[in-house]
């Protein structure tokens, strides 16, 4: 979002329910976000769970987490279940996506977002955010994969870039927390980001 667009939205939505989203982000604070979905096509698939954790003062704050299971009545295949371990019966008891997104946006405020291949998660959320607020999510974003790729290329411009999530975590000395659960992956991304900020990408 351009500064001009943000300025215009801030004026238009001043005093509204969504004014906090458009404020400057707090310094030194991020929110690590992850979704589990029925597949990888934002135009066709659905969100099954959303989790986010606050990252502040050099810590991932699980006590300040946001975690919701989301309702879908649509069926999804065994490959999807093997990936995220959420069954159709469990998905059918989740909360409505509209309610979850509204609650998440109030919780998020203007904080910057972290994620691993975050663009996919934002594409999945985009229509629900716009339906709730009337505008696209304005928060600044940092993608762990993009940042690792940039640092790898700086150190070894001609070497292949390895952006596998497990490889990134292992290289940074971070344990994988409950892989393919939204809360576990959000936590791992937050820990990787802190390690990258503190120590950089190891040479060699």
Domain count, the chain: 1
Structural domain contains residue 13: no
Structural domain contains residue 2: no
Q: Which of 16, 195, 19, 129 is nearest to 6 (CA)?
A: 19
59-69, strands of its sheet edge to edge: 59-69, 47-56, 29-37, 112-115, 141-143
Q: Residue 83 has what pLDDT?
A: 60
Q: Residue 202 has what pLDDT?
A: 86
Q: Residue 85 has what pLDDT?
A: 66
Q: State residue 175 phi and psi, 5-degree precision.
A: -70, 145
Task: Using the CB atoms, write b or e for 65-89: b if 16+ within 10 Å.
Answer: bbebbbbbeeebeeebbebbebebe
Q: Residue 25 has what pLDDT?
A: 96
Q: Which residue has the higher pLDDT, 156 or 204?
A: 156
Percent of the chain with pLDDT over 70: 94
pLDDT at residue 113 greater than cutoff 80: yes
Tokens standing for 73?
Answer: 């009545």
pLDDT at residue 54 greater than cutoff 80: yes
Q: Residue 179 has what pLDDT?
A: 83
Q: What domain range is 187 assigned to?
A: 25-199
> Lowest-confidence range among 42-51, 75-84, 163-172?
75-84
Q: Residue 78 has what pLDDT?
A: 58
Q: Which residue has the higher pLDDT, 132 or 86?
A: 132
CA distance 38 to 105: 22
The whole-chain average pLDDT of the chain stands at: 92
Q: Residue 79 has what pLDDT?
A: 64
Structural domain contains residue 20: no
Q: Residue 41 has what pLDDT?
A: 92
Q: Residue 153 has what pLDDT?
A: 92
Structural domain contains residue 19: no
Residue 43: other Cβ atoms inside 10 A: 7
Measure the CA angle with vertex 191, ends 32 and 157; round to 5°.
95
Mean pLDDT to the nearest integer, 182-201:
95
Structural domain contains residue 16: no
Helix or strand (DSSP H, E) at 100 = helix 97-108
Mean pLDDT to the nearest integer, 172-184:
92
Long-range contacts of residues 166-175, Cβ cutoff 8 Å, at least 24 apart = 168/116, 168/144, 168/192, 171/201, 171/202, 172/196, 172/199, 172/201, 172/202
Mean pLDDT to the nearest integer, 69-75:
82
pLDDT at residue 182 greater than cutoff 80: yes
Percent of the chain with pLDDT over 90: 78
Mean pLDDT to the nearest integer, 161-173:
96
Structural domain contains residue 150: yes
Structural domain contains residue 52: yes
Structural domain contains residue 59: yes
Contact yes or no for 78/51 (Cβ under 8 A): no
Residue 59: other Cβ atoms inside 10 A: 14
Q: Residue 143 has what pLDDT?
A: 98
CATH number of domain containing 81: 3.30.420.10
């Amino acid at each position: 979002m351009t500064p001009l667009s943000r300025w215009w939205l801030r004026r238009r939505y001043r005093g509204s329910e969504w004014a906090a989203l458009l404020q400057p982000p707090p310094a030194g604070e991020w929110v690590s976000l992850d979704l589990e979905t029925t597949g990888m096509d934002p135009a066709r698939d659905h969100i099954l769970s959303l989790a986010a954790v606050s990252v502040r003062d050099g810590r991932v704050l699980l006590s300040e987490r946001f975690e919701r299971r989301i309702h879908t009545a649509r069926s999804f295949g065994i490959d999807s279940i093997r990936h995220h371990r959420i069954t159709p019966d469990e998905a059918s008891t989740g909360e409505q996506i509209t309610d979850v997104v509204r609650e998440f946006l109030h919780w998020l405020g203007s904080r910057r977002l972290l994620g691993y291949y975050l663009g996919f998660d934002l594409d999945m959320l985009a229509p629900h955010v716009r339906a709730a607020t009337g505008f696209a999510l304005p928060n600044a974003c940092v993608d762990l994969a993009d940042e690792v790729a940039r640092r790898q290329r700086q150190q070894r411009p001609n070497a292949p870039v390895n952006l596998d999530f497990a490889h990134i975590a292992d290289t940074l000395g971070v344990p994988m927390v409950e892989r393919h659960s939204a809360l576990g992956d959000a936590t791992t991304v937050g820990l990787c980001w802190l390690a990258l900020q503190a120590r950089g990408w190891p040479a060699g």
